[in-house]
Structure formats: C-alpha cells, structure tokens
Amino acid sequence: MGLVILDKLCEARLPRREDVVSPGGEISGARAGLPKILAKHGIPEKFLKEITTRQAHQDGQHLLEQLGYGKILSTFNDAKRKNQLDAGLEKLRNLALAWLNRQHIQLACGRQCSPSTWIAAILDEAKGKSGGKVEQHLVGAKLEKRHPDITIPNYPGHAGDVQTGRAGDFIVGTTCFHVTAAPTSAVVSKCAANIQSGLHPVLLVPQGQVAKSRHLAEDKNLAENVTIIAIEDFLASNIIELSKGRQSDFLNTLQGIIATYNRRLAEVETDMSLKIEVK
C-alpha cells in the first residue's frame, strides 16, 4: 500500500482525496491497477495480491493523512521532492524483494522417523508464516494423490468459502474437509451447515489443536457428528497406505506428496517461500 501511495504522489503533487479514495474508502489503483504499479517499480506482478483487504485501504488512508495528501513535501523543490519519494519507494521495494527471497521450508527427513514426525516438522517450520496455507495445500496434495480419478479443487488460502461458493476446503463424495491451523467456533458452524445439507464434515487441525476442536464441537452439540483428525495423523496414514499399495518406502511417498504440494502452491499462491524442500 505504501508503494501505491508514493506512486500517486509521484504522479500528482497534491492529489485530491476524491481522486485517490473512493466513496467506499478504497485506495484507487490498489486492486486492478496493482500489478502495473508493482511492475513499474521493479517488483514481480504476483507480489502480494492479498493487499486487497479492507485493513490495507484503511492503512492507505492513514498514510495519506500523515503525508497531508502531499503537503508535507510541498516545501521542497522538484529535485528534492523526487529524491524523497524515490528513497521511500526504494526502501519499500527492498522490503518486497527481501520478502520474495525468503528461504523455502526446509525438511530434514531421517529415514528412521515416522511419517507423522515428518509432517509435524513441516507444520512446526510453517508456524508464523503459513496462515493455514501450508496445512490446506498439504491436505489438497494428499487427496489428489489418494484420489487420482477425482479433480481436487485448488484455491488460494485467502479465498473464503463464501467467496468461492464452497461448503468447505475439499469435498470428496459426501465428505467435506475443513482444514485450519487455528480452529474457531465459525468453522464448527460450517460443519453444522454441512450436516444439514447431507455432508459429513471432517475437521483437520494440527495435533495440538485437537482437544480445542473437540471442545468447540461439544459446545455446539456436534461431538458425535463431526470427525476431528490431527493433520499429522491424516497425512501419515495416507503415506503408509500409499507406500504399501505401491511397494514404495515412506520417504519416496512423502516426496511425491510434497512435489504435488509445491505444484498446487505455485498455481494459486504468491508466497513461494512456503514451498517445501526435503533435504
């Protein structure tokens, strides 16, 4: 959003509020015009398309107000004003490029470890930067490998169920899977809606969130109607099952799932630091 605002000040010395902020409070150029602005300043167009959130536009308005819609730079001559704006743009560009160059998730797989230990290590590495995306795309990759005859949809992690018109993250037959790193009452309410529509909800959460998920289900009297499984167990059982059927070892099966995960991630996400590398 800072890039969008500073770019506007490069184009107009004292932009009017009505030319920059829509009646609904959105900053013009931060949606459809964003790829063009990013490319103009040497940043790949795919960078942070998630900028189009309500909070980002509020931040943009706040920044414009702090800059007095350009008045704070009005005492500078043209050359100094340009230098100030260029310096700000350069700092933001460097931050963006540093973000894009973050390391992938690294997984050191000891062959003596169990598949659930490997998955737990991935989820631990993803804490703080995944936002639930790693969990969602791992489950999507698992379902794709397990059901090669079924098209498993692939949505970006920030696309809500309401936006996409879906009952959950994945539907296989009459089973609806919900994947979340941080279960809330809202996701259990979605499970209740699944039951009413004839679907069986399966809530997949990290091992440490299983007890909380069960309490949330109990609070809505759904403890006997919702299947709650740790993501580690869900993926580990699949690795064991696929390995047995294909007479392959666990690590090869895991690498196949991760390859599918990396492809699915690249298809819909902007943060490629969430790719997984097996060492």
Specify the 3-state DSSP secondary structure of 147: coil
What angle separates helix 231-246 from helix 133-146, to the nearest 10 degrees?
30
Mind listing the pLDDT tens digit for each residue in 57-97? 889 899 999 999 999 998 899 999 999 999 999 999 998 88
Q: What is the pLDDT of residue 144?
A: 96
pTM for the whole structure: 0.73
User: What is each CA distance from 63 to 5, 27, 58, 94, 152, in whole angstroms?
Assistant: 8, 11, 9, 19, 42
| Sequential DSSP letters for 19-30 | HHB-TTSPBTTS
Q: Which amino acid is at 99?
A: W
Mind listing the pLDDT tens digit for each residue in 226-244? 999 999 999 999 999 999 8
**Region 97-101: what's the mean pLDDT?**
80
The answer, yes or no, to whether residue 257 has pLDDT greater than 90, is yes
Q: What is the pLDDT of residue 53?
A: 59
User: What is each CA distance from 203 to 25, 44, 109, 181, 229, in whole angstroms?
Assistant: 36, 36, 27, 10, 6
- Determine the Cα–Cα distance for residues 214 and 221; give it in Å rounded to an integer: 10
Structure tokens, 180: 């979340």
Mind listing the pLDDT tens digit for each residue in 126-168? 987 788 999 999 999 999 999 999 999 999 876 654 444 588 9
Q: Mean pLDDT lowest for which of 2-16, 48-62, 96-110, 256-270?
A: 48-62
Average per-residue pLDDT for the chain: 89
- Determine the Cα–Cα distance for residues 36 and 273; give it in Å rounded to an integer: 23
CB 25 within 8 A of CB 58: yes
| Sequential DSSP letters for 91-140 | HHHHHHHHHHTPPPEEE---TTS-HHHHHHHHHHHHTTT-TTHHHHHHHH
